[in-house]
Amino acid sequence: MAEHDAPQRSTAVRIVQEVVTSAIETGTVTTIRVELAESAQGFEVRILDDRASGSSVASPTMSDRAALAGGRCRMHEGPDGATVELWLPLRAPLAGQTPPRPS
């Protein structure tokens, strides 16, 4: 990864851990894929799995953690599995600053 704050990396790792743990606990997942993409503003992590429909991936703590770090976390469920998209700026915003938005 490009130069970034350790707290941002830690936030990303914790969210990925939570998503993967949730997928495994459903007992229906056979494949989990994690993708990472970087830009000048930040980085995006996508976690895709093939869990059975109706096995919830949503957790308010994931979205809250991302928001506190100046990013966002979106969760989508469909008939072929679940996708979690996490975006975080490379550096955590200082108090009172508006974080950059993904392009």
Q: Domains of the chain by range and CATH? A: 6-89 (3.30.565.10)
- Tell the burial category of 41 from Cβ atoms under 10 Å away from its Cβ (0-12, 13-18, 19+): middle
H or E element: which one contains 87? strand 81-89
The answer, as to whether pTM is greater than 0.85, is: no
Q: Identify each DSSP E strand in 28-71 by its residue range.
A: 32-38, 42-49
In this predicted structure, the answer to whether residue 1 has a pLDDT above a threshold of 60 is: no
For 62-82, write each residue's pLDDT tens digit: 999 999 999 999 998 888 888
H or E element: which one contains 1? none
Q: Return d(Cα 15, Cα 8) in angstroms, integer.
A: 11
In this prediction, residue 54 carries a pLDDT of: 64
For 2-25, write each residue's pLDDT tens digit: 556 788 999 999 999 999 998 888
For 39-65, write each residue's pLDDT tens digit: 888 999 999 999 876 666 667 889 999
